[in-house]
Structure 1
Amino acid sequence: MNFLNKVNMFGGTIMAALAAVLGQYWFLFAGFLLCNVADWLSGWMCSCEKGESCSRVGARGIVKKVWYWVVIAIAFYIGFSFERMGQTIGVKLWFMKFVGWFVLANYLVNEIRSILENLVDMNVNVPPFLIKGLKIAADKIDAAAKMGDGKHGE
């Protein structure tokens, strides 16, 4: 019983820290991190099956995942900063807070699609509706992002 209390205390501390740093939607960031790891592992396994695995390619994949996190941080910073600047100068830029969320959603969908593609390459039976559904989600995210470029509906 004492061990379970310690496990619960540790888990609660981790969740509280994540919520404090990442806000109430910390689970989206944690899910993205898990997808990063799963994509890297599935890509590595896929390349091993093809006899193409090497540590340099794996290291490049890890660095690429780290840069995803940098881009996400920049996107959230842009959204936060522009919203605050708008408040300062009296221009309503409340919609800027969604920039980071769009970037996170886009990367999350792409990571999941990549995992599924790796699994298909390893001859794992992946339900087609998952792949089609993620394609639809990616298209919706892209369409929402294009609404502000003045070219939608052309």
Structure 2
Amino acid sequence: IEIQLDEFRLEIQRRDQEILAMAAKMKTLEEQHQDYQRHIAVLKESLCAKEEHYNMLQTDVEEMRARLEEKNRLIEKKTQGTLQTVQERNRLTSELTELKDHMDIKDRKISVLQRKIENLEDLLKEKDNQVDMARARLSAMQAHHSSSEGALTSLEEAIGDKENADGPAA
């Protein structure tokens, strides 16, 4: 029985040591668990801070996106305005070119008409000269005719006188 008792005592000691070792291991595990809990709490705080930061960044991104969309709308509006201005300028340039072409045509027509007027004025002067010359000839012819008529009348009178003079003598 004594041997059995010694064996039990040894077994109890061995078990006590196992219990002590287990208690030490348990304490270590509890400390580890507390460290993990603290680490988890720190990670949770970090995660919350990162989520807050993410949310702030997300808000910033949304604001920037809204500003970008507004700027894109302004750019589109200005582009449309510029396009309309360019189209209007092109239309006016085309219209101006057309008007210049019409003015060139009118200027050429005016030049042609001025040359015609000058030619007609020259022709009119020439005709006036011809009329003056014809009048001068007519006057000369009338003067000649008058003198010819005067000579003819004088001749007829002379013949008449001669006939009268010859007549009673015959």
**Normalised TM-score (structure 1):** 0.24
**Normalised TM-score (structure 2):** 0.22
More helix by share: 2
